[in-house]
C-alpha cells in the first residue's frame, strides 16, 4: 500500500470517528444546547453553567429564579403556587451581578412573556467591577447562536463522559432532574452551631473602620446600574424581586470585628437607592430577622441557610414582608447598624 493511500485511509478514518463522536454528542445533547432533550432520555441536571442556557432557551416558563448559591435551594413548585407562575431555576454558585444579569438577559431575549424574576443581591458582591466574572473559562460557545463555535461542544473530550452519563442515567431508571432539585445542595450539607463555627474564624478586631473611597462608591454604582438597573429598565413589563439574603449572626460579628459594618450598609444604601428608582424593581432585605440570623440551626456556614429559609423567603416576599421603600430604607439600615454593632456575640458561641 502506498504512503498516499495510507494517509487517505488514516485521515478518512479520523474524520469518520470525529463525525461519529460529534453526532453522538449532538444527538444526546447533554447540555441541552440544541433542544430540551430527547423524549426517551432522562437528563441529570447538575452542571449549571453548562446547562442553564439550554434550560433558559428551550423550557416553557414565564418566571425565572436565579442568583447565587443563596437561591439554589428555592423550589420552583413553591414559587409557582405563590405567584401562579411557571418558573425555571437557573442559579449559579458564586455568580457575580454581571453573571446573574447575563443569565437573565439571555432568557429575556428568547422569551417575551417573562412576568417575574427572583434574584439574590448578595451584599458581598456589591463592590465588584460591573463586568466581573467569578468563573474562569465560561463556556460562551454554548451561550450564543454561532453554529461554528459549537465544535467546542461537539468535539470536547470532557463532554463525552457527560453524554455517556445521560445514557447510564436513563438506563438506571432515574428521571430528569426537576426544577425543585436542580442545583439543590441542602441534602448534602450539615447544619447547626458545630458546622457554622467550624467554618468561622474569629478575626482580630481592627482599629480603624473601613471607609469607602470615591472609587469604591463609583464602582458600586456602576455595578448596580450596569447590571440590574439597565436590565430592568429594558424590560418594564417584568417584575424584578431582588433580595439581600439573611446572613448568619457570625457574618455580622465578622463585619463588626473588622469594622466593615458601616461601609457594607452604606454600600447597600447606595444600591437600594438606585434600584428603587426603577418602577418594576422591588428590593427586600431580611437582615433584621434575628429569629433567622441568630439561630445557627438555620445555617451550614456563616452565609448559607437551609432550604426551609428559602421557603420562608418566598412566603415573606409574596406577603410583602421585608420590602424596602424610598421613605424608610435609610432608617432601616441605620437600625441594622445599631442592632448588630451593639449585639452581644458571646451568647451564641
Q: Which residues pair with 120 in a beta bridge?
A: 243
Give the model's pLDDT for residue 15: 54
Residue 282 clears pLDDT 50, i.e. is over it: yes
Give the model's pLDDT for residue 348: 79
Give the model's pLDDT for residue 5: 58
Q: How far apart are CA 194 and CA 181, in angstroms?
A: 26
Distance linking the first and last C-alpha atoms of the chain: 80
Of 87-91, 134-138, 243-247, 327-331, least confident by mean pLDDT is: 134-138
Percent of the chain with pLDDT over 90: 87
Give the model's pLDDT for residue 7: 46
Residue 206 clears pLDDT 90, i.e. is over it: no
What is the pTM assigned to this prediction?
A: 0.94
Of 9-13, 96-100, 259-263, 290-294, least confident by mean pLDDT is: 9-13
Going from the C-alpha of 42 to that of each of 36, 63, 156, 185, the distances in angstroms are: 11, 24, 21, 21
Residues 3-17 have a mean pLDDT of 52
Mean pLDDT of the chain: 93
Give the model's pLDDT for residue 2: 66
Residues 2-12 have a mean pLDDT of 52
Residues 17-39 have a mean pLDDT of 89
The residue ranges of DSSP E strands in the chain, in sequence order, are 63-66, 87-89, 116-120, 239-244, 281-285
pLDDT confidence band for 95 (50 / 70 / 90) = very high
Give the model's pLDDT for residue 3: 56
Is beta strand 63-66 parallel, antiparallel or unpaired with respect to 239-244?
unpaired
Percent of the chain with pLDDT over 70: 95
Give the model's pLDDT for residue 21: 79
Give the model's pLDDT for residue 11: 55
> Can you say how many angstroms the Cα of residue 102 is from the centroid of all Cα atoms in its chain?
11
Of 61-75, 128-142, 236-250, least confident by mean pLDDT is: 128-142
Task: Tell me the per-residue pLDDT of 150-204, one tens digit each, with 9 for 90 and over.
Answer: 999 999 999 999 999 999 999 999 999 999 999 999 999 999 999 999 988 887 7
The angle subtended at Cα 282 by Cα 278 and Cα 283, nearest 5°, is: 110
Give the model's pLDDT for residue 136: 79
Residue 315 clears pLDDT 50, i.e. is over it: yes
* Residue tagged 432532574 (cell numbers): 177
Residue 238 clears pLDDT 90, i.e. is over it: yes
Residues 286-311 have a mean pLDDT of 97
pLDDT confidence band for 120 (50 / 70 / 90) = very high
Residues 80-94 have a mean pLDDT of 97
For 26: left if phi > 0, alpha if psi spans -120 to 50, otherwise beta; the answer is alpha
Give the model's pLDDT for residue 99: 96
Give the model's pLDDT for residue 20: 75
pLDDT confidence band for 76 (50 / 70 / 90) = very high
Residue 335 clears pLDDT 80, i.e. is over it: yes
**Helices 97-110, 214-224: crossing angle, 10 deg rounding:** 20
Amino acid at each position: 500500500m502506498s504512503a498516499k493511500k495510507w494517509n487517505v485511509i488514516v485521515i478518512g478514518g479520523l474524520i469518520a470517528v470525529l463525525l461519529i463522536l460529534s453526532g453522538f454528542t449532538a444527538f444526546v445533547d447533554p447540555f441541552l444546547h440544541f433542544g430540551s432533550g430527547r423524549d426517551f432520555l432522562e437528563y441529570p441536571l447538575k452542571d449549571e453553567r453548562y446547562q442553564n442556557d439550554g434550560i433558559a432557551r428551550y423550557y416553557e416558563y414565564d418566571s425565572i429564579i436565579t442568583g447565587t448559591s443563596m437561591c439554589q435551594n428555592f423550589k420552583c413548585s413553591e414559587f409557582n403556587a405563590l405567584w401562579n407562575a411557571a418558573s425555571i431555576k437557573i442559579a449559579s454558585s458564586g455568580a457575580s451581578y454581571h453573571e446573574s444579569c447575563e443569565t437573565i438577559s439571555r432568557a429575556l431575549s428568547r422569551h417575551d412573556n417573562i412576568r417575574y424574576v427572583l434574584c439574590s443581591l448578595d451584599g458581598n458582591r456589591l463592590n465588584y467591577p460591573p463586568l466581573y466574572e467569578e468563573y474562569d473559562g465560561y463556556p460562551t460557545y454554548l451561550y450564543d447562536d454561532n453554529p461554528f463555535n459549537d465544535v467546542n461542544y461537539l468535539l470536547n473530550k470532557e463532554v463525552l463522559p457527560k453524554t455517556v452519563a445521560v445514557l447510564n442515567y436513563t438506563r438506571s431508571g432515574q428521571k430528569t432532574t426537576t426544577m425543585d432539585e436542580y442545583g439543590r445542595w441542602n441534602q448534602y450539607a450539615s447544619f447547626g452551631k458545630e458546622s457554622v463555627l467550624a467554618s468561622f474564624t474569629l478575626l482580630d478586631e481592627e482599629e480603624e473602620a473601613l471607609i469607602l473611597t470615591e472609587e469604591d462608591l463609583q464602582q458600586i454604582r456602576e455595578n448596580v446600574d450596569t447590571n440590574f438597573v439597565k436590565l430592568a429598565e429594558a424590560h418594564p413589563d417584568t417584575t424584578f424581586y431582588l433580595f439581600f439574603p439573611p446572613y448568619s449572626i457570625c457574618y455580622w460579628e465578622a463585619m463588626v470585628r473588622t469594622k466593615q459594618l458601616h461601609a457594607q450598609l452604606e454600600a447597600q444604601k447606595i444600591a437600594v437607592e438606585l434600584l428603587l428608582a426603577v418602577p418594576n424593581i422591588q428590593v427586600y432585605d431580611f437582615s433584621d430577622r434575628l429569629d433567622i440570623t441568630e439561630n445557627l440551626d438555620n445555617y451550614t456556614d456563616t452565609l448559607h441557610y437551609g432550604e426551609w429559609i428559602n421557603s420562608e423567603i418566598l412566603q415573606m416576599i409574596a406577603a410583602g414582608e421585608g420590602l424596602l421603600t424610598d421613605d424608610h430604607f435609610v432608617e432601616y439600615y441605620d437600625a441594622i447598624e445599631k442592632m448588630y454593632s451593639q449585639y452581644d456575640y458571646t451568647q451564641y458561641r
